[in-house]
Amino acid sequence: MSAAIVPTGLSTERKRRSLAAWTSDQLDLIVTPVLALILLVLLITVWSYSTFDPTTERILEPSQLARQLWQQLYVAFFSTVIVVAVAIPIGILVTRENAPRIKDTLVSFLGLGQAIPAYGLIVLFFVWLGQGAWTVIFALATFALLPVLRNTIVGLEQVDSSVIEAGKGMGMRGVQRLTKIELPLAVPVIMAGIRTATVINVGMATLAFLIGGGGLGETINAGLKLNRPTAIFIGAVLVALVALVFDFAGGLAQRYLRPKGV
């Protein structure tokens, strides 16, 4: 074991630190499933033990819920894919040594974008692109761009400059330094950004119904309009459940994509 070789002071210190890290890691992966489980139990209980009037029954028609769920995931998935495909390359470009110094401007500009409520953004995109799920997808992609871009920039910039210097000094080309040193070391931070964006997108996809993009927002909206609290509750719980599942998946990815040794 390593403990035999390293001085004891160091090894206990390391053990203590890794124990703390371990607990916070575990907490991250335990709290979410527990919450999700509680919601699921609640959902099933409410579903099984309440008697639905015909209107509620019509709103909560299972095949309809399934379609809405599917739409919700569709919107969330593609908006996240677009965010990743756009934000990471931009983050990489603006952090290159000889890149024009635009990253601070860019981040504050996108910060403004995020200050507009997602609702407003969807309406703006509706004016521009018209009805449909893809309008929502583009609006959400814009909305969730910032966390991924910011984390990509921060993740790349927090890489110890002496590590990059050493790589350069050994004759690694720019692309090699990027793919073999910088990106792997930035993965944890970038993944955290993607996780945030995913959860934002899953939640905000609820607004898709506003411009005919479907999603679980339809159920909540119908419940509100027809004054059916059970329907509102079930719609909201379903949204929360999906968000928690995505958050959990993001947590797993963050953990297992983290490079060894760091």
Number of residues forming the site for another protein (CB under 8 A): 26
Binding to another protein in span 240-259, by CB under 8 A:
259
Q: In sequence order, what are the residues at sequence separation of 6 or more whose Cβ sits closer than 8 angstroms to the Cβ of residue 212?
A: 131, 132, 133
Token match 């997602």: residue? 118
Closer residue to another protein in complex, CB, 14/225: 14
| Footprint on residues 154-193 left by another protein (CB under 8 A) | 160, 162-173, 176, 181, 184-185
Minimum distance from residue 107 beta carbon to another protein (Å): 25
Q: How far is the CB of 192 from another protein (least distance, A)?
A: 17
Burial 152-177 (b: 16+ CB within 10 A, else e): bbbbbeebeeeebeebeeeebeeeeb
From CA 126, how far away is CA 211, in angstroms rounded? 7
Identify which of residues 181 and 210 has a Cβ nearer to another protein in the complex: 181
Question: Is there a contact between 183 and 91 (Cβ–Cβ < 8 Å)?
Answer: no
CB of 184 to another protein, least distance (A): 5
When the beta carbons of 1 and 115 are compared against another protein, the nearer one is 1
Dihedrals phi, psi of 126, to nearest 5 degrees: -65, -45
Buried (b) or exposed (e) across 102-121, using 16+ Cβ within 10 A? ebeebbeebeeebeeebeeb
The whole-angstrom separation of Cα 127 and Cα 26 is 45
> Residue 62 or 171: which CB sits closer to another protein?
171
Binding flag, residue 44, another protein (CB under 8 A): no
- Minimum CB–partner distance for residue 2 and another protein (Å): 6
Shortest distance (Å) from residue 20 CB to another protein: 16
What are the residues binding another protein (CB under 8 A)? 2, 5-7, 10, 160, 162-173, 176, 181, 184-185, 259-262
